Amino acid sequence: MILSDQPRSSRSSIATTNPFDGSVVQEFDVMEPAEVDRLVERSHAAYTQWRNRTREERAAVVTRAGELMLERREELAELLTLEMGKLTREAHGEVFLAASILAYYGEQGPQMLADKPLPTRKGEARVVSQPVGALLGVMPWNFPYYQVVRFAGPNLVAGNTILLKHASNCPQSALALEQVFRDAGAPEGVYTNLFVPGRDISRIIENPLIQGASLTGSEAAGASVGEVSGRNLKKCVLELGGSDPFIVLDAEDMTHTVTAALVGRMANTGQSCISAKRMLVIDEAYDAFVAGLRDAMSRLVPGDPADPATTVGPVSSEESALEILEQVQDAIDKGAKVEIGGGRMDRPGAFVEPTLLTGVTEDMRIFREEVFGPVAVVHKVSSDEEAIALANDSEFGLGGAVLCHDMERAQRVAERLDTGMVWINHPTSSMAELPFGGVKKSGFGRELSDLGIHEFVNKKLIYALPSDTKIAGAAG
């Protein structure tokens, strides 16, 4: 329900706030616990029917959802720009990426779930992949469509139903995506948006009808979801923070390397778990790299994210801007060198200057913490071994990138990084057919590719022997 002149509920915290000018566009009532319980029950009831449709029938709904996203790309992209300040071209890019994921699972999902025969000494054995029930997804604001569909798409094809708690600052994006699935033919209760505060998540997971949870978000949120899921013996998938290394091993093509670094760090205004947050540059390339990246960042054009001429927009909120500035100031106070930026832009909105820091040391917050904004940190290294050691000296292990003309050398370094993903000669990114996920405090489980569709399915063994088989005894 959209609020107008009605008094706000004491639980109400769901609103579209434009980070470009700080204006509150729309506010929404949060759902009371009784309403949430009713929707969980509806989702479970829908599951009992949805699971009985063929994989191909379920995949057709997901395919149609992808088609509708493309048909509505202008409207959907505008909501991303409005709610979290995403540049127009990046908003369109996210819509296309999300649609490609739905198309991928619509086409490939049924065969990914096909029965798997097992060799056995006698009889016939196979593993069948069956859905488990209603799942809760808890999603962040930085990629409001992409993050959702990489969870929802494969699980809908698998036969699960989805309850989606989106970030509180992108309610209109959440509603638009719910409408897409409804219009694509998902029956009532198969995909349901929940407007609830974060404090309600544990209670939802504890509901016996919920069979699993997937969260993309902070370490603290992941720890909370992991704890309540474990306590209730339910599986969860966690994609948490990242402090991805971007390793430069030579100075062969500095134009390409600097472009990769700029895109890797500044895409989505630096608000990505897989951003190139720590740039580790071999000493022979260091000076040219720093000069090139400093020049490239100086040419970024701040402004309205809806203006095609803008190349750097606001961060998602005033709170985010203040947190980033605190991290930067801590580094400056402790001796880091500011190559460019370092402060707040002199303009309205949640704008942070594109910032490049060198001379960062272990006593600075920015050395260990994830910086979720337009801030690049460059370290000089003297060898591949030092680059690997520094890259792995992190509590995070999501992604990473290696830039090197010598592919064998790049492969050797990539294999030794303690991360879930490594891209060579390209900033870390995402594609429907490639698995996505991390290790250490970056979480566990995988999304996308064939791995993603098997996270929340029952891998059931069916073993058949002739009826006249002699019974030798049982094990287990």
Q: CB count, 10 Å around CB of 340?
A: 18
Distance CA 314, CA 87 (A): 9
Q: Is the dihedral of CA 364, 367, 371, 377 positive or negative?
A: positive
CA 16 to chain centre: 20
Which residue in the list 170, 236, 273, 404 is annotated as catalytic?
273
Distance CA 272, CA 147 (A): 11
What does DSSP say about strands 124-131 and 116-118: parallel, antiparallel, or unpaired? antiparallel
The helix (run of H) or strand (run of E) holding residue 14 is strand 14-17
Q: Are 143 and 268 in contact (CB under 8 A)?
A: yes
Distance CA 185, CA 61 (A): 6
Of 113, 133, 115, 128, which is closest to residue 59 (Cα–Cα)? 113
Which residue in the list 27, 94, 239, 353 is annotated as catalytic?
239
The helix (run of H) or strand (run of E) holding residue 461 is strand 457-464
**H helical segments located in 115-253:** 146-158, 171-183, 201-206, 219-231
Distance CA 470, CA 140 (A): 56
Q: Which token pair is 20?
A: 């470009």
Q: Verify whether residue 415 is a known catalytic residue.
A: no
Q: Verify whether residue 188 is a known catalytic residue.
A: no
Q: Are 457 and 471 in contact (CB under 8 A)?
A: no
Distance CA 193, CA 267 (A): 28
Q: Please count the residues of the chain.
A: 476
Which sequence positions are flagged as catalytic? 239, 273
